[in-house]
Amino acid sequence: MTSKTTKGAGLGVALLAALAGTALADDKLTELSPDGKDACFGRVYDAAHLKAHPNQKVARIFFYYGSYPVSHPNEEPSSGPSGYNGFVATTVRGAKKPEWVGGWCGKDDPQSSEIRCGMECDRTMASLNLDEKGRLIISGVQRNLYLDAGAEDELGEKEFTRQALGTEDDGFRLDPMPAQTCKAEFARIDPIDPALGAPLRERLKPDQPFCYGRDYDAAHLGSHPDQSTRTIRVFRGPIELASFAMDGDPASWPDGADIAVSVTTRHKAAKVTQSYSCEGEADQWRCVASAKTSDFSCDIAASEIYLRRGANGTMMLANPNSSLPIVDLCSKAAEGETASDDKVYRLEPMPQSACTP
């Protein structure tokens, strides 16, 4: 497989990486941050410099020493330390946004002035030094910084040259800058849509009911002949609230939260309700079908739906595999990818009365 590395790898990967990088990242690097606060260094190359260095692809480069800079408000109840303390963001000529990578930075030799930044899989991100003017010198940058190890052999010379950094992309000299400058640069990588608002775990409280749904009219169904769903509701009511009050941990919300999904279809006017148990997973709730509302003779552990915050107070429900009660979850129709148009729903908030049995 040939793909870009996980830029600033997710927390799960980062925590594994931290086990290897603890020795490097344990001590505060006073050279980078004398006051112990987050530190930022950067440089934007002008046209004259780039013209004089045709083999340098990087037009903008920033190094950030501090906490994880690209975290979004997510659905996990808490985010542990990533183990990473050094982050590089570079924008190549003509690119609209940066690529980035995170690692752990520290000294192998406390007496040395050189700081080494490592990444997962025992790779090196860069070596750091400060010059007499306090500028950060970044050296030892490999051309495959954002590529998988071995990408040169897998991609071939031409494609590797296109994707990799340039032959002059090393020995960068960066000026000290306010930490906010780096945060703004990293924010360009994956900007947050303000219309999405707060994550579901903040909008939906552990001890409060909610109801989201949608009723599809004849015009919509006529233009979507492969959609079975006529009405859909996603809710937490007295039963779900009582279950969480008894067994749930509000500090871990939404882990352990039960929800119910009710649907009617074109072919079945009677409402069918299925319960699911949810947990936070990055920017979504992963909800697994449970047997609390049905007596299943099969294993439904693989029947999963996903909830995400939608724009302007809506909720998105994803049904990538046939895991909604529009089919019998034990039937052949429930196995594998959803073949109909019943894959993604945009649900509006509704009064609780719209979700009563």
Residue 293 lies in a domain: yes
> Residue 56's pLDDT is what?
98
Question: Strands, E, within the chain: which ranges?
Answer: 39-44, 58-65, 86-92, 99-106, 115-119, 123-130, 136-139, 172-177, 210-215, 229-236, 257-265, 272-281, 284-289, 304-309, 315-318, 344-349
Same domain, 97 and 15: yes
CB 25 within 8 A of CB 87: no
On whether both 126 and 186 belong to a single domain, the answer is yes
- Note whether residue 3 is domain-resident: no
Contacts 24+ apart (CB under 8 A), 106-111: 106/21, 106/23, 106/24, 106/25, 106/26, 106/27, 106/29, 107/24, 107/27, 107/29, 108/24, 110/27
Does any domain span residue 1? no
Same domain membership, residue 224 and residue 135: no
What is the pLDDT, as a whole number, of residue 298? 64
What does the DSSP assignment read for 100-160?
EEEEEEE-SSTT-S-EEEEEGGGEEEEEEEE-TTSPEEEE---TTTTB-TTHHHHH-HHHH
Kindly state whether residues 218 and 239 are assigned to the same domain. Answer: yes
Structural domain includes residue 2: no
Could you tell me if 16 and 149 lie in one domain?
yes
Residue 81: predicted pLDDT: 53
* Residues 158 and 177 reside in one and the same domain: yes
* CA Rg value for the chain: 25
Are 143 and 57 a contacting pair, CB within 8 Å? no
Task: Indicate whether 5 belongs to any domain.
Answer: no
pLDDT score at 339: 78
Q: How many domains does the chain have?
A: 2
Show the domain range for 297. Answer: 200-355
SS3 state of residue 58: strand
Residues 280 and 307 in one domain: yes
**Tokens describing residue 14:** 């980062």
- Tokens standing for residue 215: 């009723």
Domain membership flag for residue 123: yes
Are 94 and 136 contained in the same domain? yes
- Would you state the pLDDT for residue 112? 84
Residues in the chain with pLDDT < 70? 1-27, 77-82, 292-301, 329-335
Residue 184 lies in a domain: yes
DSSP structure class, residue 321: B
Provide long-range contacts, Cβ within 8 A and 24+ apart, for 117-126.
Answer: 117/86, 118/20, 118/21, 118/24, 119/5, 119/17, 120/9, 120/13, 120/16, 120/17, 120/20, 121/149, 122/20, 123/149, 125/86, 125/88, 125/101, 126/88
Q: Are residues 102 and 157 in the same domain?
A: yes
What is the DSSP-derived secondary structure letter of residue 163? H
Out of 162, 191, 220, pick the residue that ends a domain.
191
CATH number for the domain that contains residue 257: 2.40.128
Mean pLDDT of the chain: 86
The reply to whether 222 and 282 lie within a common domain is yes
- 258, 175: one domain: no
Quote the tokens at residue 315: 């909720």
Q: What is the pLDDT of residue 122?
A: 84
Backbone dihedral angles phi then psi of residue 143, each to the nearest 5 degrees: -65, -25
4 occurs within a structural domain: no
pLDDT at 326: 83
b/e code 244-281 from CB counts within 10 Å (16+ = b) = beeebeeebbbbbbbbbbbbbbeeeeeebebbbbbbbe
Calpha distance 316→235 (Å, rounded):
13
- The last residue of one of the domains, among 164, 191, 218, is 191
In terms of domains, do 181 and 74 share one?
yes
